[in-house]
Amino acid sequence: MLGTYHLNSLFEILKEIHFIYEPDKLWKFVLEQSCKILQSEAGTFFLANQNGTDMNVAAAHGVDENRLKQVPFRAGVGICGWVLQYHQPAMVMDVNLDNRFNRSADAVTGLKTHSVLCVPVLSQKRTYGVIELVNRKSGQFGPQDQEFMTVLGRQTAAAYQNLLLYSELSHAKTLLQSILENLTGGLIAIDLSGKITILNPAAARLLDLGVENPMGRAASEVLKDHAWFIDILSKTLSDKCSVSRQEVDLSLRGQDSRVGYSTILISDHDKNLMGSGIIFQQIPKK
């Protein structure tokens, strides 16, 4: 069980890592905090490739990172390679007595390694990398240090997964925003409470809306001069039925206009109804 020092230190790190959204900053932060808390002379954050066969130096502390990157790191080679291969932590008090130790990194960096604490950055699905700490400045690495780093390794993997999800969502949001902004037709959507969830620039232009920041506001407020749109969105929700390629005569920007439109029902992955929408554009009168 972790003592007060390790628990408090872990808490302070966890307050930060789940709000870091750039991989390089995450690796560097975790490594620097680990070296500081466990008073390590040096440390390395290794990032594994997709197949888990090789590792690259993602961050280094206390040694020349560029020199360290000259050394190939592979699964099964060295203590860090053993940790990557077997997904288990390793604590070595004297590397001279451990035949897993690989001296190639010391030869390149000039560091004299005496002791090592190495843990996997592990999730349920895969090992993303390895954190290796070298030479505790005060005494030896102990069981609580190993437990602390093992928990931190798992939490770092979770933070990385969140980072990847955040990146995917940001990309999807940017793509959606680009599509909405470049649609020539108008698109308006509301949620079950009647609040605007989507209103693209074309819709604002066609309806001559001067409303700023319409998202999250009541459709009855944003579309107060366009009762027909409020009615059709509400009817689509209440009837739970959409229509396609319909036409209607409306007044747009003070002119009688023919409008082509389709309505849609918006559902989540479990097919729970979330809202309704309408896609529309002005068309020439026949």
Tens-digit pLDDT profile for the chain (286 aa)? 789 999 999 999 999 998 999 999 999 999 999 999 999 999 999 999 999 999 999 999 999 999 999 999 999 999 999 999 999 999 999 999 999 999 999 999 999 999 999 999 999 878 999 999 999 998 899 999 999 999 999 999 999 999 988 888 888 888 888 888 888 899 999 999 999 999 999 999 999 997 778 999 999 999 999 999 999 999 999 999 999 999 999 988 878 899 999 999 999 888 899 999 999 999 887 6
Quick one: 30 and 60 in the same domain? Answer: yes
Q: What is the pLDDT of residue 1?
A: 76
The strand pairing partners of 259, in sequence order, are 248, 282
Quick one: 242 and 120 in the same domain? Answer: no
Distance between CA atoms of 242 and 240, rounded to whole angstroms? 7
Cβ distance 52 to 70 under 8 Å?
Answer: no
Q: Quick one: tokens of 231?
A: 């009615």
**178 in any annotated domain:** no
Q: What is the pTM of this model?
A: 0.70
**177 in any annotated domain:** no
Quick one: 218 and 130 in the same domain? Answer: no
The domain boundary residue, chosen from 172, 195, 223? 172
**134 in any annotated domain:** yes
Quick one: 221 and 256 in the same domain? Answer: yes
Quick one: 272 and 143 in the same domain? Answer: no
Q: How many domains does the chain have?
A: 2
In terms of C-beta distances under 8 Å and separation of at least 24 residues, what long-range contacts does 198-205 make, across chains too?
198/277, 202/281, 203/280
Quick one: 43 and 149 in the same domain? Answer: yes
Tell me the residue type at 283. I
**98 in any annotated domain:** yes
In terms of C-beta distances under 8 Å and separation of at least 24 residues, what long-range contacts does 220-224 make, across chains too?
220/194, 222/196, 223/188
**129 in any annotated domain:** yes
The domain boundary residue, chosen from 122, 139, 172? 172
CATH number, domain of 203, equals 3.30.450.20
Quick one: 102 and 131 in the same domain? Answer: yes
Quick one: 53 and 124 in the same domain? Answer: yes
Quick one: 159 and 93 in the same domain? Answer: yes
Say what angle helices 143-182 and 23-37 make with each other, to 10 degrees: 160
CATH number, domain of 11, equals 3.30.450.40
Cβ distance 175 to 265 under 8 Å?
Answer: no
Quick one: 162 and 24 in the same domain? Answer: yes
Q: Quick one: tokens of 107?
A: 């030869």
Quick one: 132 and 194 in the same domain? Answer: no
The domain of 91 spans 4-172
**155 in any annotated domain:** yes
**244 in any annotated domain:** yes
**114 in any annotated domain:** yes
DSSP codes joined into one string, 118-151: EEEEE-SS-EEEEEEEEEESSS---HHHHHHHHH
Residues in the chain: 286
Quick one: 54 and 133 in the same domain? Answer: yes
The domain boundary residue, chosen from 172, 195, 230? 172
